[in-house]
Chains A and B, each alone.
Chain A
Amino acid sequence: DVKVTQSSRYLVKRTGEKVFLECVQDMDHENMFWYRQDPGLGLRLIYFSYDVKMKEKGDIPEGYSVSREKKERFSLILESASTNQTSMYLCASELTNTGELFFGEGSRLTVL
């Protein structure tokens, strides 16, 4: 079974802090994604990557950056967390161009 692991299930941070959300997948998938999920807004794509060291902006990249130094690991970085970044963050991976996404269990971030 494909496993996508997000390192932190719950985090509480203060405004202005730097936040790292880590995601690791074990199926050698090329494509990896970061979404945020908010009530009434569905899943919105923040960034994605289709290869090591490659990254593409999604629909809402402002206030976020990403890092993909190794194929299995895709990190989401909030350089200076703000309260409007309080959300559920979901990482996903995809075997190239199959369309089917495999999700991690999510990281619920609260920014105070």
Chain B
Amino acid sequence: EDKVVQSPLSLVVHEGDTVTLNCSYEVTNFRSLLWYKQEKKAPTFLFMLTSSGIEKKSGRLSSILDKKELFSILNITATQTGDSAIYLCASDNTNAGKSTFGDGTTLTVKP
């Protein structure tokens, strides 16, 4: 059975801190690893990672995939209160409809 595990489940930091969110996966027919951010409403796409060791970056957020060790990390530097959200990690495999989600990490950034 495909499995995606995120850690920590929740995290409280102060503005300006740097955080690292973890995602490990055990997935057959793995194709890509995706990160989403969910505030009050729908999850929104952050990154898709398909190749090992290549960092993807968007502003203060960055992510990298290790296909040998089967994990990914999402880094957020200089956190702001607007970064408070649930961060979801999902594995996508080559079988249609088989994105498997982790339970999410709830990040709270305090002023």
Contact = CB atoms under 8 A, between A and B. Distances in A.
B68 to A, nearest CB: 20
B22 interface: no
Contacts of A106: 41-42
Given A101-B45, A106-B41, A42 B101 contact: yes
B104 A101 contact: no
Contact of A99 (B9, B32, B101, B103): B32
A42 B88 contact: yes
Contact of A105 (B32, B42, B88, B101): B42
Interface in B53-111: 88, 90, 92, 94, 96-99, 101-104
Interface size class of A (residues with CB under 8 A): 20 to 34
B94 to A, nearest CB: 8
Interface of B: 9, 31-32, 34, 36, 41-45, 48, 88, 90, 92, 94, 96-99, 101-104
23 contacts: A4-B42, A33-B97, A42-B103, A42-B104, A43-B101, A45-B97, A45-B99, A50-B96, A96-B96, A97-B94, A97-B96, A99-B31, A99-B48, A99-B92, A100-B45, A101-B36, A101-B43, A101-B90, A101-B99, A102-B45, A103-B36, A105-B42, A106-B41
